[in-house]
Every structure is written in C-alpha cells, then in structure tokens.
Amino acid sequence: MRRQRRELQEASLSFLDVISCGFGAVVLLLVIGKVGDPSVLEEAERQVLGTVKEFQERLFEIRGETVVLDEQLKSREQQLSDMRERIARLQAKLASVAKQSSQLSESQFKEKERLQLALQILTEEMERLLGPEFRQQNKLIGGIPADSNYIIFVIDNSGSMQSYSWDKLKIEMLNILDIYPEVKGLQVLNCNGSFMFQANRGQWLEDSPTIREAIIKKLDNWYAVCDSNPASGILKAIRSFYRSDRNISIYILGDDFQGSRFIRPVVRMVDKLNRANRGSDRLVRVHAIGFPLPAYFPPKGTVSPQAIKFANLMRELSYNNGGTFIGLNSLN
C-alpha cells in the first residue's frame, strides 16, 4: 500500500515539472515575440531620433553662441588695438612736451644768467661812474645784497648733495665769496650745526685767501652728520655769532628738506629768533641757493616733494629775512 502511494507521488511531481517547463517555454516565446514587435521597434526609433534631434538643436545653439563670442572677441581685440594706438600717440605727445619743457627751462635759465650778468655789469659800471656813493645807496651785486661784513655758510652735506652737487656747490661758494672781496669774518656749519673746523667752533675765521682756499679744500673730506634740515644750523649761527655791531649774511646751500611734514614751524622759529626788538628789522640776512636733484630731472620723473619743500622753505626764509633765493635748474 505504501509503495503504491510513493509511485503516485513521484508521478505527480514529474507531471508538475513538465507543466512548469512548458509554461516557461511559452513565456519565453512570448517575450521574444514582444521584443521583435514592430511597434516596440518604432517607439525605440522615435526615442533615439528625438534624442538625436535634441542634441542637434543643442549643437546649433552652441555654434551660435560660439559665433557671438567670436564677434565679441574680435570687437574687444579691436578696442584693445585702438587703445594701444592711443596710448602710443599720448606717450609720443608727452615725450614731445617734456622735451619742449626741458628746452624751455634751459632757455629760461640761460636768459636768467644773462640778465644777472647784465645786472652785475651795469652795477659795476654805475659804481665806476658814481663812485663809492653808489655802493652806499644800492649795495646789490647780481641781485644779491652785498652789505655784510661777516659771512656764514650753512651747508647740506648729505649724501645726495655730495653725490650730485658737490662740484657745483664749490663753484657757487667761490662765486659768493667773490661778491665779498674782503670781510671781517667767515664761518662754515652744516645743516645740523656742526662746524667745519672744530678747533674754531664758535669763533670767526679771519678772512684771507688762505682761509678761503682751506674752506674749499676741506669740502672734499667733510663728513659730519646732516639730516637735510637747515633749521639747527641757522639757529646756531644766529645764536653764536650775532652782535649788534655786525652785519651778517647766512648762505644756506642744499637740495632738499627732510624735516617735518610742514615748513611753517621752521619759518616761525627763525622769524622769532631773527626779529630785532620784535619789529620788522632782522638781525641777520638769510640767502639760499637750491641745487637740483638729477634723479628727478624731466623727462625721467617728477620733481621730488622734498626738493619742492626745500625751495618753498628757502623762498620764505630769504623773503622774510632780507635775502635772496636762487634755484638752480642745472648742475652744469
């Protein structure tokens, strides 16, 4: 009985296996048939064509944008070329203006020298014709008052002066001394108030050709510290040497001012010390000569702000203290 049941069970399982395999085969045939269905292929083709069309449209858009960008680039390049041409024209024009300005400055300087020489010759001729009385009435030589019998030099012996203007400074000092053929006393300080001849500090150097030659020679190895601010030298000169019976002229020689931001404090200090009896009279005359800085000559660059401050300071000091300021345009 048990054996009969086992045979029936095995037969049932075999039948189910056959049925399952057959059903699977039918499903596989249906799937294969569906994939090959023309409607499915058409749908896939439409999707592919749609994607291709979309990509083509995007490609056309990119090409259009590229054309626009190319045109904009060409326009920018043309503008840049025009700007370069304009800059070149402006640079050429600037160089021409600078050259004309340099020539004009040189011409003005030469004309000024001719006028000063003519004035000096006329002064000498008037003195020859009118005698000593003319010198007493008008003691000007080359536009510089020559009524002093004591001379003090306050010199900027800084690096810029010794590097560029030292030879010219010697010439100008000789020219100044020539204005005064004979004086009662000479002295030389630097801008910080240091005496050239330490053995004679606070004392007058007795004028003589030997002393004048020694002063010029000493300039070759004079290295006292100087901060390019003549205030200390001026004040020390007045305090050390002024006496009521002395006619003193101070000559300041330099190229720039490295002191405070403003020149007004220096002007006030000198005015306060150099004012006689709180009136308009001055204890000493203050003259000045400004030397140019070659590094700032046009067309190499603009004028140094420190050089401008020095010129303004010297102009104020000389005007307020009965002197003359001469600004040199050349070191030749």
Beta pairing class for 325-327 and 150-155: unpaired
pLDDT score for 128: 58
> Mapping DSSP to helix (H, G, I), strand (E, B) and coil, where does residue 151 land?
strand
| Inter-residue contact 195 to 188 (CB < 8 Å) | yes
Residue 325, strand partner residues: 288
Tell me the two tokens of residue 8. Answer: 């029936």
Tell me the two tokens of residue 47. Answer: 């999707």
What is the overall mean pLDDT for the chain?
78
For residue 326, the Cα-to-chain-centroid distance in whole angstroms is 24
Q: Residue ranges per domain, the chain? A: 148-327
Q: Name which of 249, 284, 291 is nearest 144 in CA terms.
A: 249
What digits encode the pLDDT tens for the residues 236-287?
999 999 998 999 999 999 988 887 777 888 989 998 898 865 555 789 999 9
Residue 162 has pLDDT above 80, yes or no: yes
Beta pairing class for 285-290 and 325-327: parallel
> Mapping DSSP to helix (H, G, I), strand (E, B) and coil, where does residue 285 land?
strand
Query: If one looks up domain 148-327 in CATH, what number appears?
Result: 3.40.50.410
Question: Residue 59 and residue 50: Cα distance in Å, rounded?
Answer: 14
What digits encode the pLDDT tens for the residues 205-225?
999 999 999 999 999 999 888
Q: Name which of 231, 206, 202, 224 is nearest 309 in CA terms.
A: 231
What letter represents residue 159's amino acid?
G
What digits encode the pLDDT tens for the residues 23-74?
566 556 655 655 455 665 567 667 767 776 777 777 778 877 888 888 888 8
pLDDT-derived band at 22 (thresholds 50, 70, 90) equals low
* Least confident span in 125-134, 213-222, 297-306: 125-134
Tell me the two tokens of residue 19. Answer: 């049925």
Question: Residue 329 and residue 119: Cα distance in Å, rounded?
Answer: 20
Residue 253, strand partner residues: 155, 289
